[in-house]
Amino acid sequence: KNEVEQSPQNLTAQEGEFITINCSYSVGISALHWLQQHPGGGIVSLFMLSSGKKKHGRLIATINIQEKHSSLHITASHPRDSAVYICAVRSETSGSRLTFGEGTQLTVNP
Amino acid sequence: DAGVTQSPTHLIKTRGQHVTLRCSPISGHKSVSWYQQVLGQGPQFIFQYYEKEERGRGNFPDRFSARQFPNYSSELNVNALLLGDSALYLCASSIGPYSPLHFGNGTRLTVT
């Protein structure tokens, strides 16, 4: 079992829909990252969080440390949100090393 | 301000050859980390350097090595290339080892 599990693996939505991507992890962590990867490979860091909730524009990230679970929400989705969304954690015992999930491929249709 | 730059963008090598990948961090960033992303999978941590010292190493063979220079740029070296080394190699920089990451666009390595 991977230390970081994401669900769903693939997600197709219609423009305007509310989207949720989930991330579960099995180790104690000091931080969790949500990343966005577009075709071609470039990665953009969306959020780094260790507790509670963060919001940036239409994106919201939440984390529940006790349940070892985080969610990324996209409100009013748009075709330009189509990308792979990756969850990565920094465990309490691995220093600055990140462990990544496999990613969730999101496609938003117009 | 320039982002994280990686070179080359694409590279084709033959099995057994050696490759050097380069990364220039954002100005002021002292930490550089390297990741390997095989097609269809999430990235895997290879190395992290901070202030020119190795701060972490992933589960990669000794064929993989890296270093960080006084200007904080970094090189990733891979010796005796195998077909399985074909991947996107990503570099990320940050102010410190626990700060938010800024990724480059990666180097796509194909080993034939």
Cα–Cα dist B58/B68, whole Å: 17
- Contact between A31 and A23 (Cβ < 8 Å): no
The string of pLDDT tens digits covering residues A46-85 is 999 999 999 999 999 999 999 999 999 999 999 999 999 9
Among B55, B98, B103, the residue with its CB nearest the CB of A43 is B103
For the ranges A52-61, A88-97, B38-47, the lowest mean pLDDT is seen at A88-97
Binned at pLDDT 50, 70 and 90, residue A1 comes out as low
Q: Which residues of B fall below an 8 Å CB-CB distance to A?
A: 31, 33, 35, 37, 41-45, 48, 50, 55-56, 58, 88, 90, 92, 97-98, 100-106, 108
Both tokens of residue A30? Answer: 């000091």
Cα–Cα dist B45/B26, whole Å: 20
The string of pLDDT tens digits covering residues B7-34 is 999 999 999 999 999 999 999 999 999 9
Binned at pLDDT 50, 70 and 90, residue A94 comes out as confident
The answer on pLDDT for B40 being more than 90 is no
What pLDDT is stored for residue A67 in this prediction?
95
Cβ <8 Å between B42 and A98? no
Binned at pLDDT 50, 70 and 90, residue A15 comes out as very high
What pLDDT is stored for residue B32 in this prediction?
95
State mean pLDDT over B52-72: 94
The string of pLDDT tens digits covering residues A20-35 is 999 999 988 989 999 9
Query: Which residue carries 């997600």 as its tokens?
Result: A11
Cα–Cα dist A41/B8, whole Å: 14
Phi then psi dihedrals of residue A79, to 5 deg: -50, -30
Nearest CA in chain A to B58: A97
Cα–Cα dist A12/B15, whole Å: 39
Cα–Cα dist B101/B112, whole Å: 32
Nearest to A108 by CA among A78, A75, A86, A84: A78
What pLDDT is stored for residue B1 in this prediction?
58
CB atoms within 10 A of CB A33: 22
